[in-house]
Amino acid sequence: MQTVSNVLNLVKTAIEPALKNAQIVVDATAGNGHDTLFLAEHTPANAKIYAFDIQETALTNTRAITAEYAERIDYVLASHDKIAELVSEPIDVAMFNLGYLPGEKHCVTTKVESTMAAVRQVLAKLSCNGVCVVVAYPGHEAGAQEAADLEDFFTVLPKKDYTVGCYRLLNHARTAPYAYVVEKVR
């Protein structure tokens, strides 16, 4: 059984310290709401969370699972490439769990253009010591393109502004999911 070697578990562990003091948090891909719930459970009672998804079903599922925290969650039925427009505050923590909604049509998946636009918008809005995590799924065509473009983009980010790490399982298939962790350092 995978515990810390599971990439999602690992990124969640990585952002926990930043979540403790976070005021503004973005779940850029709400899906079934598991990640939004995690973010709500690990942030202060006055923190605000934006949960974006382009599918009504996803937001319905997210609303249901996070009902206890609903008064501080903004459920946004819009593409994450509208983050710059719809989130006015600096962002302390952002999470992208790319791909498609489990159990729904696979054609409604995150796409490289909007993913890259959204990631750029988040990085521009990250507060100092803010963290953005991206879980990529290179096992399907759109996911492979996203992973490649993310890698190219993150590799040349100026290190005086951002530190970027990548977590990959070296003894699993090359197509296994992996994660990027980006910290704004000034």
Ligand X SMILES: C[S@@+](CC[C@H](N)C(=O)[O-])C[C@H]1O[C@@H](n2cnc3c(N)ncnc32)[C@H](O)[C@@H]1O
Question: Side chain identity at 154, as an amino acid letter?
Answer: F
Site for ligand X in 108-167 (CB under 6 A): 108-110, 114
Give the x-and-dash track for 5-44 against ligand X (CB under 6 A): ------------------------xxxxxxx---------
Smaller CB distance to ligand X: residue 84 or 185? 84
Give the x-and-dash track for 41-70 against ligand X (CB under 6 A): -----------xxxx--x------------
Q: Give the sign of the dihedral formed by CA 49, CA 3, CA 7, CA 15.
A: positive
Structure tokens at 172: 């699993």
Structure tokens at 38: 């995690």
Smaller CB distance to ligand X: residue 130 or 143? 143
177 touches ligand X by CB under 6 A: no
Smaller CB distance to ligand X: residue 124 or 128? 124
Chain residue at closest Cβ approach to ligand X: 31
Q: Contact 64/36 with Cβ under 8 angstroms?
A: no
Estimate the crossing angle of helix 141-155 against helix 112-125, to 10 degrees: 30
Per-residue burial over 123-147, b = 16 or more CB atoms within 10 Å of its CB, e = otherwise: bebbbeebbbbbbbbbeeebbbebb
Residues that bind ligand X (CB under 6 A): 29-35, 52-55, 58, 79-80, 97, 99-101, 108-110, 114
